[in-house]
Amino acid sequence: MDARHHGIGMTSQRTRARMVERLREQGITDEMVLAVMNTIPRHLFVEEALASRAYEDVSLPINFGQTISSPWIVARMTELLRGSHSLNKVLEIGTGCGYQTAVLAKLAKEVYSLERIGPLLTRTRIRLRELRITNISLKHADGLLGLPEMGPFDAIIMTAVTTQIPELLLEQLTVGGRMVYPKGISKQFLCVIEHTPQGFIETILDEVKFVPILSGVVNK
């Protein structure tokens, strides 16, 4: 394993520990989420030129007009998705660079992740394979359609903003399950949808900023 995997200086284990302490100070209380984020080398998910900034609380560009979410956003969305319960089968819409995928993989039995940009997914597939993360299934697909053939899911996470959730996705959320996603136009907010026996309940939470979700797939 090369020096970049081990991390030196601003990409070391000590830097990760400082990130986790900051997340605690910012109100993240799920210790399982914090423990997982303390183990994953976030600097491997960004371009080498940006590696020294990987543990700052900012989103960073990852090419193809996409970004890696800030550590707080990843922690907050994961904490909300878990809701202090263990995760079984998770659907992630928007694989991106794979950092959120890696976090979920350490907390869930199975993670299915969809990415519409083919070249981005190819890079991410290699990265996750190098990190020996095996309980994930990545697919080049339109995330707005979900993955009905593998559903239902007890948790769905969407990492791009939408104005409303398609019925097709809600149908893939099991009773008792929850979905976390950003919603809005000029202002965006993190939302949680819980699928109760009586129907769907939506809770609107923190103000956030995400790139918009797009339909279709991109091959090159």
Do 212 and 193 touch, CB atoms closer than 8 A? no
For residue 162, the 8-state DSSP code is B
Angle among Cα 191, 46, 62 to the nearest 5 degrees reads: 65
Active site residues: 69
E strand spans, the chain = 60-61, 67-68, 87-93, 108-115, 136-140, 153-158, 173-184, 188-196, 199-208
Q: From the centroid of its chain, how far is CA 104?
A: 7
Do 38 and 21 touch, CB atoms closer than 8 A? no
Any idea of the CA torsion for 130, 136, 138, 143, to the nearest 10 degrees? -140
For residue 194, the 8-state DSSP code is E
The Cα 53–Cα 60 span in angstroms is 8
Closest by Cα among 188, 27, 217, 25 to 117: 217
What tokens appear for 177 in the block?
């399950």
